[in-house]
Amino acid sequence: MSDARSSRIEGLHKMTPTERLQAVAAKAGLGNEAIASLAQAAEGRIELADRLVENAISSIAIPIGVATNMIVDGREVLVPMATEESSVIAAVCNAAKRCRPTGGFFTSSSGPVMAAQIQLLGASDPEQVRLKVYERLDEIRTICNETDPLLVKFGGGFRDIEVRVIETAEGPMTIVHIIVDTRDAMGANAVNSMAEALAPRLVEWTGARSLLRILTNLADRRVVRARAVWPLEEIGGEEVRDDMISAYHFADADPYRAATHNKGIMNGVSAVVLATGNDTRAIEAGAHSFVARNGHYGSMSRWEEDADGNLVGILEMPMAVGLIGGATKIHPTAQACLKLLGVETADQLARIIVSIGLAQNFAAMRALATTGIQKGHMALHAQNVALLVGAVGDEIDQVASELKALGKVRQDVAEEILARLRAGK
């Protein structure tokens, strides 16, 4: 990189977002069009962006669509989904419609319980360290609860500890888990603060050295389960049902397939997590590590036939989302999405999200086991391709419908169609 393009920009964080954009643009040689795009994208929201992240210069608008037809635990619910991927929302609407005759989605939850880890090293007897920590349970409870009296006031707070000795490449370590009910918060900051407050006392009591103090995203005490039954006639008959079950067996046995099968589930899950201002990375990390917790990476969901020959889908996954904390309370769009959902607790939100994941999985498996994924996907993708080649106004629909009719949703074909339209042929 030449000096002019050096990534060093002195004092960038102290500038206003407008000054920052100018400074970055000058360094990167951005033209007026790009500068205007970035400035326009954040219009009315740049102060919020500036409060949420460092060095903010703009923000990006991801479409929010609404999934219809959802019934979760007997309640009709409209679900906002933030995603840039075509066909994700349509797939959920379709899957949810097909299980309405059997009552939609039924859920259960283990409650909003999170854990933070404290790593203890250097003790001559890690097993003794383990027991010494257990002996201090009452003091640990007091230290943790004093760290977050507000959480305690809302009915949450310290619940328990778990202490393990793990084998590592450099020898055994004692790992302390503090287990905390975080109520309507995702809880990362809450449990991290407790872990940091507790660590020096553990050192004092055990003579070990403490190193890392942070939550685990493998939130296996905050698991939500969703179940739905799709009647045979809504699936397309016994053959489709059996093929969908075979598709599931494939995913559960083969990590190459499981990765894509689970990505489909996360298409639904992450879209609601994002729309509500929750932490998509925390949910993704928890979901994948939960599947692989026993050393094999398989399907997040389970599919089987019931006694009447209908298809039953089950999805069980950690769901650490909140209504308080992070961007959930600060971001007006997230707040509006939460209002649309009509949820009063983080637990209710978590149940809806897992139901959406299951709906998404049904739609993807059914498409794959029948016509293939590209038919529905490409029909929606045609619009994107039309935009990509520069179609504007009415041209977008015209190009997209010709692409679909030809069954060739490709950029080169779109360019030909657009050129023909513009030449008036």
* Residue 377 known to be catalytic: yes
SS (H, E, C) the chain: CCHHHCCCCCCHHHCCHHHHHHHHHHHHCCCHHHHHHHHHHCCCCHHHHHHHCCCCCCCCCCCEEEEEEEEECCEEEEEEEECCCCCHHHHHHHHHHHCHHHCCEEEEECCCEEEEEEEEECCCCHHHHHHHHHCCHHHHHHHHHHHCHHHHHCCCEEEEEEEEEEEECCEEEEEEEEEEECCCECCHHHHHHHHHHHHHHHHHHHCCEEEEEEECCCCCCCEEEEEEEECHHHHCCHHHHHHHHHHHHHHHHCHHHHHHHHHHHHHHHHHHHHHCCCCHHHHHHHHHHHHCCCCCCCCCEEEEECCCCCEEEEEEEECCCCCECCCCCCCHHHHHHHHHHCCCCHHHHHHHHHHHHHHHHHHHHHHHHCCCCHHHHHHHHHHHHHHHCCCCCHHHHHHHHHHHHHCCCCHHHHHHHHHHHHCCC
Interface residue with ligand NAD among 282, 359, 391, 418 (CB under 6 A) is 282
The residue whose Cβ lies closest to ligand NAD is 325
Binding residues with ligand NAD: total (CB under 6 A): 23
By CB under 6 A, residue 347 contacts ligand NAD: no
* Residue 279 known to be catalytic: yes
Complex with ligand NAD: residue 123 or 282, whichever CB lies closer: 282
- In angstroms, the CA 320 to CA 222 distance is 7
By CB under 6 A, residue 187 contacts ligand NAD: yes
Q: Which of 85, 125, 196, 416 is catalytic?
A: 85
By CB under 6 A, residue 189 contacts ligand NAD: yes
Q: Draw the binding track, 92-131, toward ligand NAD (x: CB under 6 A; -: no contact).
A: ----------------------------------------
By CB under 6 A, residue 325 contacts ligand NAD: yes
Q: Which of 181, 377, 381, 402 is catalytic?
A: 377
**Residues numbered 147-176 forming contacts with ligand NAD, rule: CB under 6 A:** 148, 150-151, 154, 156
Q: Are 170 and 82 spatial neighbours (Cβ–Cβ below 8 Å)?
A: no
Complex with ligand NAD: residue 154 or 205, whichever CB lies closer: 154
Q: Which stretch binds ligand NAD (CB under 6 A): 25-33, 231-239, 319-327, 376-384?
A: 319-327
Q: How far is the CB of 291 from ligand NAD (least distance, A)?
A: 18
Q: Are 267 and 88 spatial neighbours (Cβ–Cβ below 8 Å)?
A: yes
* Residue 85 known to be catalytic: yes
Q: How far is the CB of 327 from ligand NAD (least distance, A)?
A: 6
By CB under 6 A, residue 184 contacts ligand NAD: yes
Interface residue with ligand NAD among 268, 326, 357, 376 (CB under 6 A) is 326
**Chain length of the chain:** 425
Complex with ligand NAD: residue 148 or 234, whichever CB lies closer: 148
Q: Which stretch binds ligand NAD (CB under 6 A): 73-81, 87-95, 145-153, 225-233?
A: 145-153
Q: Which of 153, 263, 296, 375 is catalytic?
A: 263
Q: How far is the CB of 385 from ligand NAD (least distance, A)?
A: 35
Q: How far is the CB of 153 from ligand NAD (least distance, A)?
A: 8
Complex with ligand NAD: residue 71 or 186, whichever CB lies closer: 186
Q: How far is the CB of 309 from ligand NAD (least distance, A)?
A: 42
Strand-pairing partners, residue 117, are 177, 214
The catalytic residue positions are 85, 263, 279, 377
Q: Which residues bind ligand NAD (CB under 6 A)?
A: 148, 150-151, 154, 156, 182-190, 192, 215, 217, 279, 282, 322, 324-326
